[in-house]
Chains A and B, each alone.
Chain A
Amino acid sequence: MSEEGMEETNLSGSSDKIEREAPQLVTVLKDIKGGLDDLRAKVQVLTSKVKLGLYPTADGISYLEAKHLLLLNYCQSLVYYLLRKAKGLPIQGHPLVHSLLETRLFLEKIRPIDKKLQYQIQKLTRLTGNSMEDAVSDDKKPDATREADDSLKLRPNPDMLMNKVTPDDGDGKYRPPKIAPASMDESKSSRQERNVSRKEKQAFRQALQSEYARDLMNDLEGRPEEVRLPLLYLLFSVVREVVGTEDRDVTRYKAKMEERARREEELFTRAPLTSMEKKKLKHMRKSRNGLLGLADSFYDDIKSLPLEEGVGGQTASFMEDSNAGERKFKKHKVCNSYFFIRSLEGIRDLNSEATNKAA
């Protein structure tokens, strides 16, 4: 209120405005003067009383002491600010602004503490007010009962509890009971947006598993490169990708074991292999050398070829058996490799027939 007036006085070059605002300024200044006079009178009364020793000011609530100091500091800074403005001195780089801001910030921060302590402080002030009255009016009351009164008045009051489950709210509207704290979903994304984001995350995870990404990671971590000759290369002199020759189960098993190894390294311990895990490891090493996986998609290729009766018939029966649900047979997949080799022989015979015919 008065600060506006001060700022307007600082505006040089607009004398019309000053003339307009001048009466307002005068009234505002009168208000200030009146307020300050009142304040001075009250403060002088208080200080005289304290000097006389009527109010014991020691052992107060330290929080309130701190708050008083902060408020005083703020008022002083404000007054100095007004003074500087009134004299027309600049304020720009002055540390005053900084201290004003700081104090203001502190006051804002302690406001929630204030609120929490409010109940207790009120209780205490009411109590002291009552006790002062009692002391003045009724000196006959013995000290013990007075203290008992005081402490009893400080106990929790169950009547003051708010009813959480309010059946009737007056309007006739139904309001659900607020029993458990409910968190607000601040993101507020619709179902489609969430689905899209989920799909993106999934795609990202899958991309990380690709070979290119794995090569990048190996490079970054400085792991030495591993070159393992695929078994097909040894059999047919055909160079294929290492990953392609292993079947799904083996790659998954390897991924699991790698994850396990990573965790072990992180925790600097080793988890012992259980007997089931040992059995699986043995199975993976001995009976599944990467060759079995080839049989998985092989029948799609050879279904259309005219092979020997025996092989074709056997493959048909094998497929039918597996479709009928002999899971145990399919699980170990030992016989798959047998049929694979038989069918390869069939192809070889076909090839030799073709070359003979050509020749």
Chain B
Amino acid sequence: MSLEETEPPSQTLDNVLGWFDDSISLTPLPGFTDSDLLNEFDWSQTWEWDHQTQAQDPGCDFLHSYSQDLDAYIGCEATNLEVVTGVPVIDSDPPPVVQLPNDQTKKRNRDELNDPHVVKRSARSKKKADKSTEVSRKDSNKAERWAEQLLNPCALAITARNSSRVQHYICVLSELASSCGDSNHRLASFGLCALKKHISTSFVPSSTLTFASAEVKMFQKTLLKFYEVSPWFALPNNMANSAILQILSQETRDKTDLHILDIGVSHGMQWPTLLEALCCRPEGPPLQVRITVVSDLTADIPFSVGPPSYNYASQLIGFARSLNINLQISVIDKSQLIDTSPHETFIVCAQFRLYQLKNSITDERSEALKALRSLNPKGVVLCEYNGEGSSSVDFAADFSRKLDYLWKFLDSTSYGFKEENSEERNLMEGEATKVLMSSGDTNEGKEIWYEKMRKAGFSAEAFGEDAIDGAKSLLRKYDNNWEIKMEDEDTFAGLLWKGEEVSFCSLWK
């Protein structure tokens, strides 16, 4: 049975477009064909700047006029002013009037002494991980992450109550922070905000862009755009869908229905592709497809809460109807009971939300997993962030992990948006920044999750070849700093950015 998971994103987006058409009219998305894609992502363009403006040397002009003043003053002739001023420092700095459409400040900051080949590009190799290159890549990654080199010591100084140090870092960060600069400048800005908030509860940040505060159309536009430029969610969604289809394919004939428990952050974006794929099965879609969405409006997890009036259910159902799929959607609160029926294949899709349950004494996370187990799902897709986790109450260590996560988001998003300072980008980043203030422990790490799953009675299941191929093929459409790494006999799919783990997908039974 062939699963058509390798559909190009353009079809996916057309689907979604179609789905949206009822309610909103979107501006046409840029041409997005398969083969053109790789060519489109030609990064060399974005890294050049205007060399012409370096012709004049302000230093010489000044001295020239000074020497003229001196003539008058001293009354002697200053003939051969062989002033070879090493017009100093970053000579290739174009004056701020660089006429490029994109944000100039970023260009200026990307100067590297006439060297158009910015050092960090050399780190961008598509080499598959060799341990030593991994380590050195991480080092060179770390070297380019200067914002954290100020933010982390500041956090440490705060915990050490070293006020002169704190003040120093805050002063420096304030000078460098910029909400429209490159990823480092943005991280500096967000991080500084978070630190100030930590220091003083009365501090109110100027404006916080979040999903919840966004206008519905903007929100939809943003999600669409984001899926187009970054696999951050697109890939986990893709793998989850593949997994669902994989599980379904192993089911017996008497299971006519599909019931998905959606504990995720896709806001409906995940399902059109799945519905299409269900349609394309030789035996057609299940008789009934149910999606139970677990909603938690109080959560402070980034990406989990959309605008209050955002309701995609009816659109999704309409779309399904156009495919002749009988779709039902229900939204429940996290504490409500979930009902299952014997005719249905019940699959849990938990993406990026379980971690919010704190590892407190009562161990809510384990409890939740046990509760899921008791529902006897046919399969559980678990996608989570993957970092060096260890729950600690140390503010500085915790903050450092969160910065690490946020950096990966900002950096990869910056590449995705080709450094455009668009509204969509700002909304995504604003929402991501919530992680800095959130109480949850973001990066628990794969090992701990695996242990918890096993403890709850689940066992790991391998992704099929189609799922893996589909994921890899999807990833090729995005920046080549993204990588997918299969481990543990294909039960673990890790998503990496610049060689560092971002998130993982896993399948359980």
| A and B from one complex | no
B: residues with CB less than 8 A from A are none
A: residues with CB less than 8 A from B are none
